[in-house]
Amino acid sequence: MTYPKFLRTVLLFAAASRLTSALSFTVANGQIYTPGLAILNSPQPGTPLGGELIEVSLDVSTNGRLPLPPYPEDSPSKIHNITIFLYSYTTGRNFTISNGTASANDASLGEIMLQEPGSTVKHVKWIWPDCLVGDGQPTELDSDRGAYNISIRQSFRLNGEDHYTIFDVPISVTNRIEERFERPSCDALKNPLLSPEAIRASADFDVPALFAPGDSTVLETSESTGNGGDGLGPTRPGAGSGQGLGAGSGQGLGSGASSILGERMTWGLGLGIVAALLI
């Protein structure tokens, strides 16, 4: 059965809400720590975006702990690949930003780890597709503008164990995006929008945010010292995630909360942002 778009949005929201728990972001010095080896520099959760393109900035060296590829075959820790999608249960859209293979005119981008050789920070720059052209909040029910999640998928090895994690960052496509001939087609970038059940079944959702200040996780690499350290000196005794600047893992389906130096921000699943200062 084909539902009207408004009803389809309600049904998708209800399905996601049943399966999505509160999501917290671990943030320190403007960086967002993920359930993986990459660290997100920008954009920040809840940012309204527009302009010519979206730029996702990722530190792929775990702030200098992890060497850049190519990695030795037997390296105990490495990033296999990173893919990024832009999806929304509100609009029903799921776009490819990068799945490892560049498409014509870079409508979708190639392998992220091979960009900017020698740089520990990868700047993923993706031109907005044509259906997101506009200015301001969506004014029609069939608009493709509005609330989205940047979905960062990491396949990596940590200390000899392989993982695949999904980290979603809510943003809003509400700033001005001008129409121009070179914009890629949304239909050429679209993917099926997976159900929350399918997403949860595909990833390791028990991996917490890693390597934030105070996290005692040791990163073993091929350059580690013989005592199993990460080459950056001994780990502080008694260090734990509770001593960092945030709490919990940053992964899920687009709903979440962040605790940043006394400010709490709560994200709804495509329903906007509520901010309140803690007393």
84-88, 95-99, 174-178, 239-243: range with lowest mean pLDDT: 239-243
pLDDT greater than 60 at residue 277: no
**Per-residue pLDDT tens digits for 30-82:** 999 999 999 999 999 999 999 999 999 999 999 999 999 999 999 999 999 99
Q: One-letter amino acid identity for 117?
A: P
**CB environment 22-32: b (16+ within 10 A), e (fewer):** ebbbbbbeebb
CB-based contact 215:239 (threshold 8 Å): yes
Measure CA of the first residue to CA of the last residue in the chain; give whole Å.
50
Whole-prediction pTM: 0.76
Domain extent at residue 143: 5-277
Question: Closest Cα partner for 11 from 88, 86, 89, 93?
Answer: 89
